[in-house]
Structures are given as structure tokens and as C-alpha cells.
Amino acid sequence: ASLTVVDEIMSSFDIERGDMEDLGTLYPDEKRFSVKEVLQRRKYFLLLCAAVLVVVFLVLVSLSIALPVALVNNNSMTSESRASTEMSSYMSSEYSSTSFSSDFSSETGPDPDSIIIGSTTLYFDSRIKNTTESQIDLDDMESWIDREARADFWNALANNASRYLDTSMAEVSETTRVQQLISARNCKSNYEIRTRNMVDGDGIGTSYIDLKGNNKEMVNACTLPFEPAPIYQTNSSSKCELDLHECPDDDKYSRETRVFFHQLPSLQECYQIKQIYPNAFPKVDEDREHELLEVRSSQTWWAKKYTGFLDNDTKYEITFTLRYHSGEALAAKDPKNNIEPASGEWSIRLYSVGEGFTDEWNQDVVDDIQTMYYELMGIFGRPGYCD
């Protein structure tokens, strides 16, 4: 048996049995090895190989543990960041700052503030405000005949439900506007176009056009190419917000850009809206530029807005908006201030720290206003109600 083992060992070293006696002849400068020494050296060699294998195994085990942990931590941080942004957006109306605006110009190329999704380069635009809006549809419109008293009542309840809110310190504005909803379906677009002309109160004589797009996914809404033409940029404002409603099915992200005018320009044909928002209507070519825009509705609205800051760093806007059957009905004065409106809405909008131009939120304020919102919802709203 021992000879068989020796044969196997010699075979592994490529040595014939007869050569064992002639090692000194084959390698005259080397020491003659006995079978025992060969076995001993073989043993050391095997031990060395085993040690190397153990080290390699331990390294592989360490990597197999470290890499998944690193990936999980990275994914966890991404999820936490996304959850934090959405919770921050939870309490307001126009989500924006952490958004990306599309820039399809191939002349400038990608810049340091861009990301690429698929084949489209999306550019971060620091001019887009980051906001959220929570809304409650007004019910019992008869109670809003005296709209001023009713607004004061709501504000008193809101102030009482919040540790930060005090509408008595807010800047108050009141306006009457004529609003038109315009369809661009002939321009091969389903974006919402609105014109608002201020006919009474604060801002009388001014107007604006806004373009709005909605999506359930933030990245799809906030990257809509709504930048106005360069000539209008200094007279524009942009936002991307999370809209929250009584019905969760209506919750969505909305991207909106407003362009302000002293006098509304003519909006009758597709090329006219493309002149204001050149990237938003890529299908308007020479064959379609004279297709007609369609006015879907014309309505008269009254709005009262309270603007201030919570905890010295979070801008808010509380707005009461009431729609009337006609301008004459809205303007009709009586001891109770007006006649019964047709419909209405209450909303509170929160901006991120820095008036919407950062991704930082005061979480204490967000949580406080969320509590206040749910309290008002419980009194006046229909939580979870969907038509």
C-alpha cells in the first residue's frame, strides 16, 4: 500500500520510479532526496495550497456579503430620499424644485445638471418651484353667500388646529377673474391651456396664460417641456407640485408654467400657442400651424388668498376660490356680501424652504399642516370620497 502511495506521488511530480535513484544524476547540483523527504515536501505544498484556498474563500465570502449590503444601503437611501420628497410635497399644490425640465436643444449638449433617461436628456431647471397643494371641495354653497364671514370661520378653525399658522399675520389679496379653458386637440396635444384675466380687485388689468400637464409619476410630470420662449422667461413662473384631493384617485403631480401679460395675446391658432411654449407642441408643423384652438368654457371666479410664512422658513398660501354663474352674480352686492356661488374650493399650498427653490422641507411644519388639513377635512370634507 505504501508503494502505491509513493507511485501516486511520483506520478503527480512526473517522476519515474527509476529516476528516484538517479535524481542526483538528473540534477547534479541538487541534493539527493529520499522518498520520505519527497513526501514531506509534498505535504508542505498541499498545506500551502490549502491555506491559499482558505484565504481566497474568505475574500469571496466577504465580497458576497459587502456588495449586496452596499446595494441595499444605496437603494434604501434612494427610497428614503424619494419618500421624504413626496411627504414634503404632501401638504401643498405646485410641486417643483426637485424636478427636471426638458431641454431638447442638441446645440448645447448635456450640462452638469442633467440626467439621461433612455435617449432623452433631461435638464434640471432651478427656476421651477417645489410645492404641494392639499384641497377640499366646498359643500353647502348657501353657507358661502356671506363669503367673507365664511372664510373667517374656516381660518379660525385652521389657526386653532395648527401650532404655526396665524392668518391674521398674512398678506391678503382678493381678485375677480374671467377664466377660459382652451383645448389644443387640433394641435395634437392634450395639455390644459388656461387664460385668466383679472377684471376686479388686486391685479386688475393683468392676465396670464398657463400650460398644465398631469401625471401620476413625478418624473413624467416634472420633465414636461414647458419652458416658455426666451422672450417670455422673465415674465413667467414655473412649478411642479403634488396635488392632493379628498379622493386619492385624483392625487397627481402637475407641471405648470405661467406667462404674464398686461394684455392677453390672441390665441386662436396652434402656431400662436407654440410661439409661447415652443417645445411643448412638437407636432405643430406647417401643415397644422393654422389649426384652430377651441374655447371649452368661460367662467367667472372670485379668489381670496392668504400668504405668509410658517416657522419663519416655509411659505404658504391659503386660497378660497368661488365660481359664480355669471360676472353679474359675482358682482351683485347685498348686506351679506354676495349671492350664492355655483361651486368652490379651499386649498393650502406649501413651498419648500427658500420659497420653493430648494429640495429642503421643514418637516415639523409639513406634519403640522397635514394634521390641520385632516382636521378640516373631517369637518367640511368627504375623506376618501370619489365621484
Q: How far apart are CA 255 and CA 252, in angstroms?
A: 10
Q: Check: CB of residue 133 under 8 Å from CB of residue 349.
A: yes
Distance of CA 7 to the CA centre of its chain: 75
Q: CB atoms < 10 A from the CB of 332, how many? A: 12
- What are 226-274's pLDDT values in tens digits? 999 999 999 999 999 989 988 888 899 999 999 999 999 999 999 999 9
Quote the mean pLDDT of the chain: 78
**The predicted structure's pLDDT at residue 334:** 58
**The predicted structure's pLDDT at residue 359:** 87
- What are 58-114's pLDDT values in tens digits? 877 666 655 444 444 444 333 333 333 444 443 333 333 333 333 323 233 333 344
The pair phi, psi for residue 361, each rounded to 5°, is -125, 145
Sequence-distant (≥ 6) Cβ neighbours of residue 270 within 8 angstroms = 184, 186, 187, 281, 284, 288, 289, 290, 291, 292, 293
Q: Is the pLDDT of residue 22 over 60?
A: no
Q: List residues bridging with 324 in a β-sheet.
A: 300
**All 3 cell numbers of residue 296?**
371649452
Provide the b/e sequence for 220-243 (b: ≥16 CB within 10 Å).
ebbbbbbbbeeebeeebbbbbbbb
User: Which of 101-110, 318-327, 365-374 has the weakest average pLDDT?
Assistant: 101-110
Mean pLDDT of 165-181: 97
On whether the pTM is more than 0.75, the answer is no
Provide the b/e sequence for 22-51 (b: ≥16 CB within 10 Å).
ebeeeeeeeeebeeeebeeeeeeeeeeeee
Q: How far apart are CA 110 and CA 89, in angstroms?
A: 28
Q: How far apart are CA 273 and CA 264, in angstroms?
A: 12
Mean pLDDT of 135-146: 93
Higher pLDDT, residue 368 or 10: 368
**The predicted structure's pLDDT at residue 335:** 46
Higher pLDDT, residue 375 or 249: 375
